[in-house]
Amino acid sequence: MTRIVTKSRGRWSSIFWITVLSFMASLVVMVAVLQYRWTKQLIEATEAGMGNSLQPLTVGWHLDFYGELSAICVALQVGPDSGAHDAWADYLQRYTIWSRQDVASDTAETVNPSPDLVEQVYIWETSNPGKPALLRLAPEHKKIESTEAPRELENLLARLQVASSSLPKALRAWQAPGISAEENTTDLRAAASLGLPRWSSAMIGWQFDENIPAVVHPLVHHEHPLDANSPVHRVAVDWMVVVLNLDTIRQRIIPNLTKRYFGGPLGLEYKLAVLEFGNNPHTIYSSDAEFPSGDAASFDARVNIFGPSPDAGAAHDWRTPKDNSAQRGNSSSGLVWFPVIQYGAQDAPWMLLLQHRTTPLQTIAADIWRRNILTGGVVLLLLTFDMGLIVIASRRAHILAKLQLNFVASISHELLTPLAAIYCSGQNAQDGLLIGKTDVMEHGSLVTGQTRQLIALVKEILLFASTDNGTNRYSLRPLSVVEVIQCVRKDTAVLVDGGGFAVEETIDDGLPLVTGDLRALSHCLQNLITNAVKYSGKSRWIGISAAYHELANHYGEVWISVHDRGVGISASDLPHIFQPFYRSAQSVDAQIHGTGLGLAVAKRIAEAMGGRLSVISQVGKGSTFTLHLSVAPQWDARAEEQPAFSQFTS
């Protein structure tokens, strides 16, 4: 019944620990997943914060660039009526006044007129299909003169002529005929939330050709264009064509804006480039000769400078061409711009590319993410390690408590047997049952024997306690192996002879001396012989052997072995037999007396002598315990006269 209860408790204990370990493993996995998700969200927020800090700079740069290019549009004052009340002479006068203003200072905080930005201003008279004429506004001569169309304007002028049949059609001249292109637009609500200006009436109707570059605006036709009071032809349309100076954009405007928004005390904090994508992609401006390189990492920001028109009210990001599809970054369209004249289904925008001069923001964010993951992983590993230590310590404490309980039960049993015998003898004497000298001697011998057994048991417990706390003191000196074995035979004679055991000794000749304490070594071997007697089974044979073994590096040991042909030790019990209080289930079931301290004490004594204990065993065939002792150093005659030295065990 006790065995069944023990097995049941063991099974429930195993289930309990499996449940605990499963719960802890699940907890660790859950914490790892949450830590990864939190770190991912944190890095996304960090990257978004970095992008948000860059966004105002790119917006400011873009708006000022737009302001620079649109200043001439404001100056010419082609209103929403498309010049219904203005003659060509009015535009000449306004252009003349604007062209005489000084170029803006490099350090200006606001956008000022830049006359050098405008290369030419033309009026393209297409109202008479048979006789289209190109007129140039010449502010230096204050007159309007006829001129030949430059080659770079041929495609644009042809496009405008096709769209000159009516003003509504002219206002949509930017959209290529036959192509259902979805216009890139700016969300006006998003622009308003950023505090950006809405389109003014002075900018309505202006359209942009990025290939030249040039801005154009339809004009209602006057019968006498130089006379503002002449009748207006509401159907026919002429065009204002303003050709911009690309060199001024490249060499002055973009560098000044770049310095204003992305400069610092030590120079530019960002690398900046403006690229044109189209049939012939090329770099318009770059702050660094090597930027952007073909194998550059993802950019911190990409802005479609020409962006969408704000008319449609729905914005979406411009997508890079296929050869740049692998590049990631904060890609967006311009917030405010003229409608861009389309010559095909594919856009050919000007792109503003930004990258931090030291490290791209995405790389910084990725480094932070990796660092957080690594730190979190180390913390998680430490947590797992600590949890493992707690589980191991709890398990060891549980096992130790169980062993101690078994020890208490065993020692109680060991104490109870001789005490019961002593009590019976005393009770017999008290009751006057002892008759004659023979009975007295028999009971006296019984009491003496049982008392001796109690004393030995108490000594064993005290010896274990002293070896456990390191208070035992040994006197080490060179010893003869024969001397040690003779001392052991003397101490175990009663036990061995009383059990009817035959002892076979095999001791090699010429064994060197060993270093140790005679009584301690004797007690160590005595425990081994006692153990052999207990577990000998039906066999009544014990072997004692001693031999010298030379190890590596010419280091030698003397091996003293105790052999038996008893029940043996199972492989599952071998790792635990030297643990204090441990007794195998087989020995408990067989009701073999013991406290579980003998082998533990023997092991500690061997280690205190600088040696060790080893065991070889096979179930049903017996066991061999071997005491390994170091050979004593050379000892001369004078050393025999010297007092033995002492050592404390640990």
Q: What percent of the chain has pLDDT over 70?
A: 72
pLDDT band of 179, cuts 50, 70, 90: low
Task: Give pLDDT tens digits for 579-595.
Answer: 877 777 777 666 676 66
Bridge partner list, 136: 122, 145
DSSP letter at 78 equals -
Burial class (CB in 10 A: 0-12, 13-18, 19+), 297: middle
pLDDT value, residue 298: 65
Q: Answer whether residue 106 shows pLDDT above 50.
A: no
pLDDT value, residue 95: 92
In the listed set 307, 342, 358, which residue is the last one of a domain according to the structure?
358
Whether residue 334 is contained in a domain is answered as yes
DSSP letter at 319 equals P
Is residue 543 a contact partner of residue 506, using CB atoms and an 8 Å limit? yes
Is residue 83 a contact partner of residue 236, using CB atoms and an 8 Å limit? no
Cβ neighbours of residue 256 closer than 8 Å, sequence gap 6 or more: 106
Least confident piece of the model among 223-227, 317-321, 470-474, 499-503: 317-321
Least confident piece of the model among 13-17, 52-56, 336-340, 554-558: 13-17
pLDDT value, residue 252: 92
Longest dimension (CA), the chain: 165
300 and 421 within one domain: no
Domain count for the chain: 3
Whether residue 242 is contained in a domain is answered as yes
Is residue 174 a contact partner of residue 207, using CB atoms and an 8 Å limit? yes
553 and 419 within one domain: no
Task: Give pLDDT tens digits for 190-222.
Answer: 334 434 444 456 678 899 998 899 999 999 877
Greater confidence (45 vs 32) lies with: 32
pLDDT band of 223, cuts 50, 70, 90: confident
Whether residue 530 is contained in a domain is answered as yes
pLDDT band of 313, cuts 50, 70, 90: very low
In the listed set 294, 326, 358, which residue is the last one of a domain according to the structure?
358
The parent domain of residue 219 ranges over 47-358
pLDDT value, residue 535: 87
387 and 354 within one domain: no
Is cis: bond before 80, omega within 30 of 0? Answer: no
Distance CA 368, CA 373 (A): 9
In the listed set 312, 342, 358, which residue is the last one of a domain according to the structure?
358
Burial class (CB in 10 A: 0-12, 13-18, 19+), 323: exposed
Beta carbons within 10 angstroms of residue 505's beta carbon:
12
Highest mean pLDDT among 47-61, 298-312, 514-528: 514-528
Distance CA 54, CA 263 (A): 13
For the residues 429-445, what does the mean pLDDT come to?
79
433 and 414 within one domain: yes
pLDDT band of 182, cuts 50, 70, 90: very low
197 and 257 within one domain: yes
Residue 581, Ramachandran bin (φ over 0: left; ψ between -120 and 50: alpha; else beta): left
pLDDT value, residue 186: 38
Is residue 85 a contact partner of residue 117, using CB atoms and an 8 Å limit? no
Q: pTM for the complete prediction?
A: 0.51
Whether residue 375 is contained in a domain is answered as no
DSSP letter at 320 equals P
Least confident piece of the model among 107-116, 144-153, 166-175, 426-435: 107-116
Least confident piece of the model among 153-157, 221-225, 354-358: 221-225
What is the DSSP pairing of strand 263-264 with strand 514-516? unpaired
For the residues 88-96, what does the mean pLDDT come to?
90
Greater confidence (7 vs 169) lies with: 169
For the residues 623-634, what does the mean pLDDT come to?
88
For the residues 264-287, what does the mean pLDDT come to?
84
635-644 long-range contacts, CB within 8 A, separation 24+: 635/478, 635/513, 639/478, 644/475, 644/476, 644/477
What distances in angstroms separate CA 123 from CA 25, 88, 338, 411, 561, one per listed residue?
80, 8, 19, 119, 119
The tokens for 630 are 């170091």
123 and 216 within one domain: yes
Whether residue 312 is contained in a domain is answered as yes
Whether residue 28 is contained in a domain is answered as no
419 and 337 within one domain: no
Q: Answer whether residue 526 shows pLDDT above 50.
A: yes
Distance CA 436, CA 452 (A): 25
544-553 long-range contacts, CB within 8 A, separation 24+: 544/485, 544/488, 544/503, 544/504, 544/505, 544/506, 544/507, 545/505, 545/506, 545/507, 546/481, 546/485, 546/506, 546/507, 546/508, 546/511, 547/508, 547/511, 548/508, 548/511, 548/512, 548/631
Per-residue b/e over 100-120, b at no fewer than 16 CB within 10 Å? eeeebeeeeeebebbbebbbb
pLDDT band of 114, cuts 50, 70, 90: confident
Q: What percent of the chain has pLDDT over 90?
A: 19
Q: Answer whether residue 404 shows pLDDT above 80.
A: no
pLDDT value, residue 194: 39
Cβ neighbours of residue 540 closer than 8 Å, sequence gap 6 or more: 499, 500, 501, 502
584 and 542 within one domain: yes
Distance CA 373, CA 375 (A): 6
DSSP character string of 241-301: EEEE-HHHIIIIIHHHHHHHHHEETTEESEEEEEEE-SSS-EEEEESSTT-S-TT----SE
Q: Answer whether residue 150 shows pLDDT above 90.
A: yes
Highest mean pLDDT among 217-231, 570-584, 620-634: 620-634
165 and 295 within one domain: yes
Greater confidence (412 vs 499) lies with: 499
Q: Answer whether residue 3 shows pLDDT above 60.
A: no
pLDDT value, residue 545: 94
What angle do the packed helices 436-469 and 361-430 form, to 10 degrees? Answer: 170
The tokens for 194 are 């950023």
User: Residue 407: which CATH number?
Assistant: 1.10.287.130
Tell how many helices (H) and how many strands (E) occur in the chain: 15, 21
Distance CA 599, CA 190 (A): 84
Whether residue 1 is contained in a domain is answered as no
DSSP letter at 429 equals H
pLDDT band of 5, cuts 50, 70, 90: very low
Q: Answer whether residue 153 shows pLDDT above 90.
A: yes
What is the DSSP pairing of strand 541-550 with strand 502-507? parallel
Distance CA 7, CA 5 (A): 5
Helix, coil or strand: residue 563: strand
346 and 431 within one domain: no
Give the residue among 564, 524, 517 at the shortest CA–CA distance from 544: 564
For the residues 355-381, what does the mean pLDDT come to?
72
Give the residue among 552, 535, 542 at the shortest CA–CA distance from 620: 535
User: Residue 640: which CATH number?
Assistant: 3.30.565.10
Q: Any idea which residue has 């790792």 for tokens? A: 575
For the residues 511-530, what does the mean pLDDT come to?
90
Element (H, E) at 222: strand 214-222
Q: Answer whether residue 568 shows pLDDT above 80.
A: yes
Least confident piece of the model among 294-298, 515-519, 627-631: 294-298
The tokens for 427 are 């009770």
For the residues 104-126, what does the mean pLDDT come to?
71
DSSP letter at 151 equals G
338 and 416 within one domain: no
pLDDT value, residue 467: 67
394 and 319 within one domain: no
The tokens for 457 are 């048991």
* Mean pLDDT score of the chain: 76
